[in-house]
Amino acid sequence: MTMSEVKVIVRRNRPGTKGAEFCKWPEEPFEEMDSTLAVQQWIQQTIRRDPSNITAILTPPETQDEEVWKYEHLRQFCMELNGLAVKLQSECFPETCNQMTATEQWIFLCAAHKSPKECPAIDYTRHTLDGAACLLNSNKYFPSRVSIRESSLGKLGSVCRRVYRIFSHAYFHHKTLFDDFEASSHLCRRFTSFVMKYNLMSRDNLIVPNMEDGATDAPPAVTETASTPTTTTTTTKVTPVTGNTTESEA
User: Which pLDDT tens digit goes with each residue over 149-186?
Assistant: 999 999 999 999 999 999 999 999 999 999 999 999 99
pLDDT given for residue 118 in this prediction? 93
Position with higher pLDDT, 148 vs 214: 148
Strand residues in 11-137 grouped as ranges (E): 100-102, 106-108
Position with higher pLDDT, 46 vs 248: 46
**pLDDT of 240 higher than 60:** no
Render pLDDT for 116-137 as a digit per residue (tens, 0 to 9).
Answer: 999 999 999 999 999 999 999 9
Strand residues in 89-183 grouped as ranges (E): 100-102, 106-108
pLDDT, mean of residues 11-30 = 73
For the chain, what percent of residues have pLDDT higher than 70?
Answer: 78
Q: What are the residue ranges spanned by the domains of the chain?
A: 3-248
For the chain, what percent of residues have pLDDT higher than 90?
Answer: 62
CB neighbours of residue 139 within 10 Å: 7
pLDDT, mean of residues 198-213 = 88
3-state helix, strand, coil in the chain (%, to 5): 45, 10, 45
pLDDT given for residue 217 in this prediction? 43
pLDDT given for residue 164 in this prediction? 97
First CA to last CA distance, the chain: 62
**pLDDT of 228 higher than 80:** no
Position with higher pLDDT, 11 vs 58: 58
Domain 3-248 CATH superfamily: MOB kinase activator (1.20.140.30)
**pLDDT of 227 higher than 60:** no
What is the Cα–Cα distance from 188 to 181, expressed in whole angstroms?
9
